[in-house]
Structure 1
Amino acid sequence: VIPSKIEPFGLVALEAMGVGTPVVGFRGTGIEESVVDGQTGFLVPYGEIEQLGSALIRLLSEPELCQQMGSAAQKQCQENFSLEKHIQKLEALYSEVLSAQLLHTKNG
């Protein structure tokens, strides 16, 4: 559960997802970058405490759903937020910047 109003990225969400735990939190916060509503957890409108509670109760009362979402959360974390994926994204960004810089130097 991540009920915070100000969560710039959601590292706690990724840590939970990394060990197969579905995440419940508010829309409009940084966790939207990692949590897929209805697949890797639940996102409810900000400030809707009753909906937050209902999402938690649903996961606790439906162990199979919790397991499915937990597995999907772990897969999402591994495929999109692993160290290897981060390195790939950085290398691609550096290549793009260097290519643009070389092109600018040749034409400039």
Structure 2
Amino acid sequence: MSNEARLTVYTKPNCPMCKATQRWLDKNNIPYITKPITPDIAQWAKDNGIKTAPIVIFNGNDRTISWGGYHPDHLKALKTTPPTLTEVAQQSRKSAAELGGGEENRDRPVEER
């Protein structure tokens, strides 16, 4: 992956899932930017079905993939060089299906056009 961070992790104070996400990214040498969750970001997340922190947003190829919470399976898709949005989305959907959520799982990545 290039040194340019295409991943933003929006966090809230004292959030164990936020810290776990950051530890995973650090351990795997994946560049990211950390920002606090603001009211605007919280509203955007709510509008897109994301209910938990951290709010993770991956930008690339003129598209965005996002999810909420600590999801190592989603993060593993970022380890490919370079990660593709298709790989991130496929891994996320596979995980949702395995959890019984299928396409209706509210924690699956949201693709914006």
TM-score by shorter chain over 0.5: no
Instruction: Give 1 or 2: higher helix fraction.
Output: 1
The TM-score with structure 1 as length reference comes to 0.28
Q: What TM-score does the superposition give when structure 2 sets the normalisation length? A: 0.28
Higher strand share: 2
